[in-house]
Chain A
Amino acid sequence: MLSLERDAYLAMLSHALGAYPEEACGLLVGPVLAGPADEPGAGVARVVRAVRARNEAASARVYTVHPLDLLRADREAQQAGAELIGVYHSHTHTAAFPSPTDVAQAPDPSWHYVLVSLAAPEPVLRSYRIVDGKRTEEPVVLGIV
Protein backbone atom coordinates (compact mmCIF):
# COMPACT_ATOMS: atom_id res chain seq x y z
CA MET A 1 0.00 0.00 0.00
CA LEU A 2 1.19 3.48 -0.86
CA SER A 3 0.16 6.35 1.39
CA LEU A 4 0.46 9.77 -0.26
CA GLU A 5 0.62 13.08 1.54
CA ARG A 6 -1.95 15.34 -0.12
CA ASP A 7 0.72 17.80 -1.27
CA ALA A 8 2.65 14.99 -2.95
CA TYR A 9 -0.51 13.76 -4.68
CA LEU A 10 -1.40 17.24 -5.94
CA ALA A 11 2.20 17.90 -7.00
CA MET A 12 2.20 14.81 -9.21
CA LEU A 13 -1.14 15.66 -10.85
CA SER A 14 -0.20 19.27 -11.50
CA HIS A 15 3.19 18.27 -12.87
CA ALA A 16 1.60 15.74 -15.21
CA LEU A 17 -0.98 18.27 -16.45
CA GLY A 18 1.58 21.05 -16.79
CA ALA A 19 4.06 18.95 -18.75
CA TYR A 20 1.42 17.76 -21.25
CA PRO A 21 1.90 16.78 -24.09
CA GLU A 22 5.27 15.54 -22.84
CA GLU A 23 5.60 12.90 -20.14
CA ALA A 24 6.32 14.26 -16.67
CA CYS A 25 8.54 12.38 -14.23
CA GLY A 26 9.89 12.74 -10.72
CA LEU A 27 10.99 10.95 -7.58
CA LEU A 28 9.07 9.80 -4.51
CA VAL A 29 10.61 10.55 -1.11
CA GLY A 30 9.63 8.77 2.06
CA PRO A 31 10.95 7.38 5.32
CA VAL A 32 13.55 4.66 5.05
CA LEU A 33 11.80 1.40 4.20
CA ALA A 34 11.72 -1.30 6.82
CA GLY A 35 11.19 -5.00 6.32
CA PRO A 36 11.41 -7.11 3.17
CA ALA A 37 10.82 -4.39 0.62
CA ASP A 38 11.22 -6.72 -2.32
CA GLU A 39 7.97 -8.48 -1.57
CA PRO A 40 5.04 -6.91 -3.39
CA GLY A 41 2.52 -5.53 -0.93
CA ALA A 42 4.93 -5.62 2.02
CA GLY A 43 3.79 -3.00 4.52
CA VAL A 44 2.76 0.57 3.88
CA ALA A 45 5.13 3.00 2.21
CA ARG A 46 4.59 6.67 2.90
CA VAL A 47 5.37 9.33 0.30
CA VAL A 48 6.05 12.62 2.06
CA ARG A 49 7.24 14.45 -1.03
CA ALA A 50 7.10 14.17 -4.79
CA VAL A 51 10.14 15.85 -6.34
CA ARG A 52 9.95 17.02 -9.94
CA ALA A 53 12.64 15.91 -12.32
CA ARG A 54 13.42 16.99 -15.84
CA ASN A 55 12.44 14.46 -18.50
CA GLU A 56 15.75 14.21 -20.31
CA ALA A 57 13.97 12.49 -23.19
CA ALA A 58 11.58 15.49 -23.59
CA SER A 59 9.08 13.16 -25.22
CA ALA A 60 5.38 12.31 -25.23
CA ARG A 61 6.20 8.60 -25.37
CA VAL A 62 9.19 7.99 -23.10
CA TYR A 63 10.81 9.45 -20.04
CA THR A 64 14.32 9.51 -18.61
CA VAL A 65 14.79 11.10 -15.22
CA HIS A 66 17.67 13.56 -15.58
CA PRO A 67 20.43 11.94 -13.50
CA LEU A 68 21.42 15.25 -11.90
CA ASP A 69 17.83 15.69 -10.67
CA LEU A 70 17.96 12.13 -9.32
CA LEU A 71 21.24 12.96 -7.55
CA ARG A 72 19.81 16.17 -6.03
CA ALA A 73 16.62 14.43 -4.90
CA ASP A 74 18.71 11.68 -3.32
CA ARG A 75 20.85 14.22 -1.45
CA GLU A 76 17.82 16.17 -0.22
CA ALA A 77 16.16 12.99 0.96
CA GLN A 78 19.34 11.84 2.69
CA GLN A 79 19.66 15.16 4.53
CA ALA A 80 16.04 14.88 5.66
CA GLY A 81 16.68 11.38 6.99
CA ALA A 82 14.53 9.96 4.20
CA GLU A 83 15.08 7.88 1.10
CA LEU A 84 14.06 7.72 -2.52
CA ILE A 85 11.33 5.08 -2.51
CA GLY A 86 10.04 5.31 -6.03
CA VAL A 87 9.40 7.22 -9.21
CA TYR A 88 6.33 8.70 -10.86
CA HIS A 89 5.64 9.48 -14.48
CA SER A 90 2.71 10.34 -16.66
CA HIS A 91 1.17 8.57 -19.60
CA THR A 92 -0.40 11.22 -21.77
CA HIS A 93 -2.58 9.01 -23.97
CA THR A 94 -2.57 5.57 -22.38
CA ALA A 95 -3.83 4.02 -19.17
CA ALA A 96 -2.12 4.25 -15.76
CA PHE A 97 -0.56 0.84 -16.27
CA PRO A 98 3.16 0.08 -16.57
CA SER A 99 4.11 -0.46 -20.20
CA PRO A 100 6.53 -3.19 -21.28
CA THR A 101 9.17 -0.43 -21.43
CA ASP A 102 8.37 0.60 -17.85
CA VAL A 103 8.68 -3.00 -16.66
CA ALA A 104 11.85 -3.73 -18.64
CA GLN A 105 13.57 -0.57 -17.39
CA ALA A 106 12.33 -0.58 -13.77
CA PRO A 107 15.54 0.12 -11.87
CA ASP A 108 14.75 -1.07 -8.37
CA PRO A 109 12.49 -3.87 -7.06
CA SER A 110 12.14 -2.09 -3.71
CA TRP A 111 10.65 1.00 -5.39
CA HIS A 112 7.05 2.05 -5.91
CA TYR A 113 6.08 3.00 -9.46
CA VAL A 114 3.35 5.63 -9.70
CA LEU A 115 1.62 6.25 -13.02
CA VAL A 116 -0.54 9.28 -13.77
CA SER A 117 -2.74 8.83 -16.84
CA LEU A 118 -4.12 11.80 -18.70
CA ALA A 119 -6.00 9.64 -21.22
CA ALA A 120 -9.41 10.30 -19.61
CA PRO A 121 -10.92 13.71 -18.83
CA GLU A 122 -9.91 13.29 -15.16
CA PRO A 123 -6.32 12.30 -14.28
CA VAL A 124 -5.98 8.76 -12.92
CA LEU A 125 -3.16 7.86 -10.48
CA ARG A 126 -2.18 4.28 -9.70
CA SER A 127 0.81 2.64 -8.04
CA TYR A 128 2.63 -0.61 -8.76
CA ARG A 129 5.47 -2.78 -7.54
CA ILE A 130 7.65 -4.20 -10.31
CA VAL A 131 9.69 -7.22 -9.25
CA ASP A 132 11.43 -9.63 -11.62
CA GLY A 133 9.45 -8.32 -14.58
CA LYS A 134 6.11 -8.80 -12.80
CA ARG A 135 3.88 -5.79 -12.10
CA THR A 136 1.48 -5.79 -9.16
CA GLU A 137 -0.91 -2.93 -8.48
CA GLU A 138 -1.02 -1.72 -4.88
CA PRO A 139 -3.71 0.35 -3.14
CA VAL A 140 -3.12 4.10 -2.90
CA VAL A 141 -4.50 6.10 0.01
CA LEU A 142 -4.32 9.82 0.72
CA GLY A 143 -2.96 11.04 4.04
CA ILE A 144 -1.29 9.12 6.79
CA VAL A 145 -2.55 5.66 7.65
Chain B
Amino acid sequence: MAVQVRVPTVLRSATAGQSTVDAEGATVGEVLDQLGGRFPGLAGQLIGEDGELHRFVNVYLNDDDVRYLEKLATKVGDGDIVSILPAVAGGAV
Protein backbone atom coordinates (compact mmCIF):
# COMPACT_ATOMS: atom_id res chain seq x y z
CA MET B 1 0.00 0.00 0.00
CA ALA B 2 1.29 3.45 -0.88
CA VAL B 3 0.70 6.05 1.81
CA GLN B 4 1.84 9.55 2.60
CA VAL B 5 3.53 10.25 5.91
CA ARG B 6 3.40 13.69 7.50
CA VAL B 7 6.60 14.44 9.40
CA PRO B 8 6.58 16.99 12.26
CA THR B 9 9.09 19.86 12.20
CA VAL B 10 11.14 18.32 15.00
CA LEU B 11 11.91 15.23 12.88
CA ARG B 12 12.52 16.94 9.56
CA SER B 13 16.25 17.12 10.09
CA ALA B 14 16.08 13.34 9.61
CA THR B 15 14.12 13.61 6.33
CA ALA B 16 16.26 16.27 4.64
CA GLY B 17 13.63 18.87 5.46
CA GLN B 18 10.75 17.03 3.81
CA SER B 19 7.41 17.58 5.55
CA THR B 20 5.64 14.78 3.70
CA VAL B 21 7.23 11.59 2.43
CA ASP B 22 5.81 8.68 0.42
CA ALA B 23 6.08 5.25 1.98
CA GLU B 24 4.85 1.70 1.53
CA GLY B 25 3.65 -1.03 3.81
CA ALA B 26 0.65 -3.12 4.77
CA THR B 27 0.46 -1.84 8.35
CA VAL B 28 1.41 1.31 10.24
CA GLY B 29 4.34 -0.60 11.74
CA GLU B 30 5.63 -1.63 8.31
CA VAL B 31 5.33 1.94 7.05
CA LEU B 32 7.31 3.26 10.02
CA ASP B 33 9.91 0.49 9.67
CA GLN B 34 10.38 1.34 6.01
CA LEU B 35 10.80 5.02 6.89
CA GLY B 36 13.36 4.17 9.55
CA GLY B 37 15.31 2.19 6.95
CA ARG B 38 15.31 5.08 4.48
CA PHE B 39 15.92 7.80 7.04
CA PRO B 40 18.23 6.41 9.71
CA GLY B 41 17.68 9.49 11.89
CA LEU B 42 14.06 8.44 12.32
CA ALA B 43 14.87 4.91 13.46
CA GLY B 44 14.64 4.81 17.23
CA GLN B 45 12.67 8.07 17.39
CA LEU B 46 9.34 6.39 16.82
CA ILE B 47 9.40 2.86 18.14
CA GLY B 48 10.99 1.77 21.41
CA GLU B 49 12.93 -1.36 22.22
CA ASP B 50 9.68 -2.91 23.40
CA GLY B 51 8.41 -2.69 19.83
CA GLU B 52 5.69 -0.19 20.74
CA LEU B 53 5.33 3.47 19.86
CA HIS B 54 7.25 5.82 22.13
CA ARG B 55 4.88 7.51 24.55
CA PHE B 56 6.01 10.96 23.40
CA VAL B 57 4.93 10.21 19.83
CA ASN B 58 1.37 10.00 18.55
CA VAL B 59 0.61 8.40 15.20
CA TYR B 60 -2.64 9.00 13.38
CA LEU B 61 -3.99 7.04 10.44
CA ASN B 62 -6.10 9.64 8.67
CA ASP B 63 -8.22 11.00 11.59
CA ASP B 64 -7.70 8.16 14.06
CA ASP B 65 -5.13 7.61 16.79
CA VAL B 66 -3.61 4.20 16.01
CA ARG B 67 -3.39 3.50 19.77
CA TYR B 68 -7.19 3.17 19.69
CA LEU B 69 -7.11 1.05 16.53
CA GLU B 70 -4.71 -1.88 16.40
CA LYS B 71 -1.60 0.14 17.22
CA LEU B 72 1.31 -0.72 14.91
CA ALA B 73 -0.65 -3.66 13.46
CA THR B 74 -3.29 -1.27 12.08
CA LYS B 75 -3.74 -1.97 8.37
CA VAL B 76 -3.27 0.90 5.93
CA GLY B 77 -4.89 1.44 2.53
CA ASP B 78 -3.66 3.07 -0.65
CA GLY B 79 -3.76 6.84 -0.36
CA ASP B 80 -4.03 6.87 3.44
CA ILE B 81 -2.23 9.58 5.37
CA VAL B 82 -0.11 8.58 8.34
CA SER B 83 0.71 11.56 10.59
CA ILE B 84 3.52 11.52 13.12
CA LEU B 85 2.81 13.99 15.91
CA PRO B 86 4.95 14.96 18.88
CA ALA B 87 3.24 14.78 22.26
CA VAL B 88 2.82 18.44 23.22
CA ALA B 89 2.53 18.75 26.97
CA GLY B 90 3.78 20.56 30.03
CA GLY B 91 2.51 22.03 33.25
CA ALA B 92 2.90 24.53 36.02
CA VAL B 93 4.90 22.23 38.30
Binding site for B on A (CB under 8 A): 23, 25, 27, 57, 59-65, 67-68, 70-71, 74, 78, 83-84, 87, 89, 91-94, 98-102, 105-111
Contacts and interface: CB of A to CB of B under 8 A. Distances in A.
Interface of B: 6, 8-10, 19, 56, 58, 60, 63, 65, 83, 85-93
Contacts of B89: 57, 62-65, 101, 105
Nearest to A93: B92
B91 A59 contact: yes
Contacts of A65: 88-89
A107 B93 contact: no
Contacts of A63: 89-91
Contacts of A99: 90-93
Contacts of A102: 90-91
